[in-house]
Structure 1
Amino acid sequence: MVIITRDRRAELLRTLAHMTALPERPRIIVVDNGSRDGTVAAVAAAHPGVRVIASSGNLGAVGRNLAVERITTPYVAFCDDDTWWEPGALRRAADLLDAHPRLASVTGRILVEPGLGEDPITPELRYSPVPAPGWMPGPALMSILAGASMLRADAFRAAGGFSPRLWIGGEEELLCMDLAARGWWMCWAEDVVVHHQASPARDPRHRRMLGIRNTLWTTWLRRPADSALRRTATVLRSVPRDRASARAVAAALAGLPWVLRERQVVPDHVERALRLLEEPQRTSPARRYVG
Structure 2
Amino acid sequence: MRSSVLGSVCVLLLMLRPQKCRGDDEVTSNTVNPCCYFPCQHWGVCVRFGDEYECDCTLTGYYGVNCTVPEFWSRVHQLLKPSPDVLHYILTHFQWLWDVINSTFLRDVLMRVVLTVRANLIPSPPTYNSKYGYLSWESYYNLSYYTRILPPVPEDCPTPLGVKGKAVLPDPELLVERLLRRRTFRPDPQGSNLLFAFFAQHFTHQFFKTYNRMGLGFTKALAHGVDAGHIYGDNLQRQLVLRLHRDGKLKYQLVDGEMFPPHCC
TM-score (norm 1): 0.23
Q: Which has the higher strand share?
A: 1
TM-score (norm 2): 0.25
Greater Rg by CA: 2
Q: Which has the higher helix share?
A: 1
